[in-house]
Structure 1
Amino acid sequence: MAALPGVPESYWVESTPTTSFPSLEQDITADVAVVGGGIAGLCAAWELSRTGRSVVVLEADRVAGGVTGYTTAKLSVQHTLIYARLRKSHGEQAARLYAQSQQDAVEHVFATAAELGIDCDLERLPAYTYVESGGETEQITAEVEAAQQAGLPASLVTRTGLPFDVAAAVRVEDQAQFHPRKFLLALVRRMADDGARVFERTRVMGLEEGRPCRLACENGTTVTAGDVVVATHYPIFDRALMFSRLEPRRELVVAAPIPPEQDPGGMYITSEHNTRSIRTTPYRDGQRLLIVTGETADPGSGDAGERFQRLAAWTRDRFTGTQISHRWAAQDNTSTDHLPYVGHFHPGAKHVYVATGFGGWGMSNGVMSGKLLSALITGHDLPWAELYDPRRLHPLREAGPIAKLQAKAARHLIGDRLRPSHADSVDDVAPGSGAIVRIGGRRCAVSRDAAGVVHAVSATCTHLGCVVAFNQAEQTWECPCHGSRFGPDGAVLHGPATRPLEPVDPDNP
């Protein structure tokens, strides 16, 4: 494989300090426990702490360092072609409530940043959804009409700030982009100063619902709380059967410095070319950093190296003279009806809440979730609560997507076990690569790092038992069923799995 362009690190992570909150070392009690320290969890914790409740945040790794640290960080109400689809499937009122809730989130970030004096490169810009093909202009026209009916300042344009022609685009005014970690790290510092307790490297393993609820952590400690918010991106508990209603996907990101005169002056996205999303952010020495996302694929669907090369080539072709400086990847989950799940975790839940299924738009949906969960827990009403209620189920609308997801998971769960091993022996695994190898009759996930050191772990995902696949570009094992990700040593990088892949001694299986 040709050398991949850029440093393999998120610019948002690279340009901000590492956090160092303590791990939980003793049993504690709080009014509310928030599981997950991404944008949804931190915003929920922030809103709840402002009501005077005692709040505990439990993060398995570092706050704002998971999916939130690898986003493209558009803070926008224009989510590709969402409004025409919502109008058709859910009705005009649902589309209007969606628009109101998302714009409310955008404005809430501006208000919070102003109130706390947060410098997070927050910029107000228009958002565009565009097509280059003349045959696709009808869907843009339909989206403009639906967005306008939803109350958004949308218009149809054929000229943009992009350095190439488009056939048509939806332009929505008054949207935003920001540095997500600068915003969230300032928020969590203020929250901690005001009394909220934040614990990192504290993985939650179990949940006992009741009044109060109890959370069991990996190191044996227990958190007792009146209410629990599960904001782990993909829920780590399966009792709501959300694995049958969430589809994980990964998108790659490349970034390149450009002079300010090449800044396209907005946020752009198209579903063409296997998705292309474009924005910039302030960078060093007066430059802008061009951030391009695309090459959508299922986790475990194969190595991302070729897709990184395609995305980089497209970026260099469309923005002449660019040199890729960074590359990273993001993961998100889309619900079967294309609306997030925010609210009571399942029909019987009284004190457990969830936020998930943001469909690639985690910034506005994360902020929206924080406000909505706080309102639900404190007994206040927001007009869009029913729209996002996780307990909703539309059998006619969702039957097809649910069946498709379950069929895909079944194919992997059964079919991947019937395939021969990907390598005949450990010796066949080259440096920098990984393969499924039978060791002592057992299917194992074997990788060899650049220094030639072999790592062998069980190939069975600890979530629901699918066989993992190796992503050479990112040096990770990925579950093709529900998107769990593991390091070469089996450590959990991304849920819903909470337990690592079991280590295997390749010499003594």
Structure 2
Amino acid sequence: MREQRKVTDSYWLQTAPGPDHPALDADLDVDVAVVGAGIAGLSTAHALARAGRRVAVLEAGRAAAGVTGYTTAKLTAQHTLVYDRLRRTRGPDGARLYARSQSEAIEHAAELVEELDIDCEWETRDAYTYVRDPSRVAELHAEADAARRAGLPASFTTETGLPFPVAGAVRVTGQAQFHPVRYLRALTADLLRLGGRVYEHTRVTGLTEGEPCRLTTEAGPVVTARDVVIATHYPVFDRALLFARLSPRRELVVAGPLGDGPDPDGMYITPDENTRSVRTAPYGPDGRRLLVVTGEHFTPGTGDPQAGFDRLAAWAETHFPGVTLDHAWATQDNESTDTVPLVGPFHPAARHTYVATGFGGWGLSNGIMAGLLLTALITGRDCLWRELYDPRRLKSVVREAPSLLKTQAEVARHFVGDRLKPPGSVADLAPGDGALVRSGGERLAVHRDEEGALHAVSARCTHLGCLVSFNRAERAWECPCHGSRFAVDGSVLQGPAVKPLERRELE
């Protein structure tokens, strides 16, 4: 019987701890307030500070320790099978603008790495989307053609560095991979040098739009800013109703030093097998390589993540014999219903509020792209791809109607169906497990810790009221509707929720 995979912190966070930043303890007035200190928020703040704006970044947890800290860290314009779809839904010009925006984001990061002398293990690698099923080869031929016509150095091939044969692959040369947390630590240091401010453990709970805008925080201080950027991965404010156009997904990662087998020497992904993504990274001073394998995606609050970790580890150990998988973590992202990120004005009436979300698993290039685009919008400069990513795009809303309706039907199914499921029993809870039980006329989320003590909180997500579910592998409560995540004590781990699950007493 396979030993249960223990979830650890991400390798990137463990190897780049970084300095602490203060919490906001007094009212503040700035030109631009950026909510969220991941790749999108810090890239935006840094670019704005270089443009002469007074910028403050407000982060509910720790900088770079959210989604960006748990990424696979591939920086590429090849996003699985996106270009053939864009060619059909947005036309050839839309596909070209997407390719150009992603490529310019990579070039911008490369320039910063050189200019700031950032030690972030930057490596140039080719990116591959592959399939092993011969019936899908036609898709790859179409994708290679679309990506090439969009301006990328793309081609179809059957030769890869993977330790198993493939039916075909789309190869895009000259892409990059790096250590994302080390990159952001250096970017943050330069932001501070430029006069920007970064506040950790400062959860934003309210937004009043106007001239100026006002942000309220959980601890009390108020931030006044002419412009506000919401870069919290999933927007923490619902006035734009973007939650109807976003689908959260969680994905698992296993990593560890390679054995004696060869380095596959590239960045790989397949849409088959519930996704498999492979890359390596420098590991130690002796030239060894770290294998990073991602896959087994699922909607938060559903499925069996522990079984997913086991399947992913078994796949990695089968194809890369001798690998020692000593890291396992999970990451989360949101996909827009038309697969194109939502970056720009927050809603149709917005004048000084902006958003960046819906990166669909490609947060590094999209986060850097978002920083360049939002800086252009805020400073009054033109940007060729502003309309492509504009959250207010109306034609796209019509095109994405089927996906939007499917997404909302799934939300409705959870909202109603999860309430019809029979409650669990406290007596059946093993140490480390959690379940929804009925007590005092309401559903409670109850966790039994390793010492046997019980911890009860309300089972209603504080975002829009769906019932949470327990993720035993990560010891967290998760909302299957919009992806909010909570610790066993009810505190918020991940938005869009900004309020904790209320504590309850068991009867």
TM-score scaled by structure 1? 0.98
**Percent identity over the alignment?**
59
| Superposition pairs of residues 86-485 of structure 1, within 5 angstroms | 86-259=86-259, 262-284=262-284, 285-393=286-394, 394-421=396-423, 423-424=424-425, 426-485=426-485
Paired AA for residue 37 in structure 1 = A
SS at match of 1:273: coil
User: Any idea what the Cα deviations from partners look like across 1:197-233, whole Å, max 9, x if unmatched?
Assistant: 1100000000000000000000111000000000000
For the 8 Å contact 2:260–2:322, the answer to whether it is kept is no
Equivalent in the alignment of 1:495: 495
Shift of 1:451: 2.4
Whole-Å Cα distance in 2 between the matches of residues 6 and 420 of structure 1?
30
For the 8 Å contact 2:157–2:171, the answer to whether it is kept is yes
Paired AA for residue 118 in structure 2 = I
For the 8 Å contact 1:19–1:62, the answer to whether it is kept is no
For the 8 Å contact 1:5–1:326, the answer to whether it is kept is no
For the 8 Å contact 1:302–1:470, the answer to whether it is kept is no
Equivalent in the alignment of 1:29: 29
Gaps of 5+ in 2: none
Shift of 1:81: 0.5
Whole-Å Cα distance in 1 between the matches of residues 497 and 356 of structure 2?
17
Q: Is the alpha carbon distance of 1:186 and 1:501 closer, same or farther for their aligned partners in structure 2, counting shifts above 3 Å?
A: same
Paired AA for residue 346 in structure 2 = F
Gaps of 5+ in 1: none
For the 8 Å contact 2:485–2:493, the answer to whether it is kept is yes
Shift of 1:455: 1.3
Paired AA for residue 336 in structure 1 = T
Paired AA for residue 405 in structure 2 = A
For the 8 Å contact 2:18–2:185, the answer to whether it is kept is no
Whole-Å Cα distance in 1 between the matches of residues 124 and 461 of structure 2?
42
Shift of 1:19: 3.3
Q: Is the alpha carbon distance of 1:7 and 1:474 closer, same or farther for their aligned partners in structure 2, counting shifts above 3 Å?
A: closer
Shift of 1:323: 2.0
Whole-Å Cα distance in 1 between the matches of residues 256 and 56 of structure 2?
38
Q: Is the alpha carbon distance of 1:2 and 1:448 closer, same or farther for their aligned partners in structure 2, counting shifts above 3 Å?
A: farther
For the 8 Å contact 1:19–1:63, the answer to whether it is kept is no
SS at match of 1:272: coil
For the 8 Å contact 1:5–1:325, the answer to whether it is kept is no
> Any runs of at least 4 consecutive aligned residues in structure 1 with deviations exceeding 3 A, and if so which?
none
Paired AA for residue 119 in structure 2 = D
For the 8 Å contact 2:259–2:322, the answer to whether it is kept is no
Whole-Å Cα distance in 2 between the matches of residues 2 and 481 of structure 1?
32
TM-score scaled by structure 2? 0.98
Paired AA for residue 25 in structure 2 = E
Paired AA for residue 446 in structure 1 = V
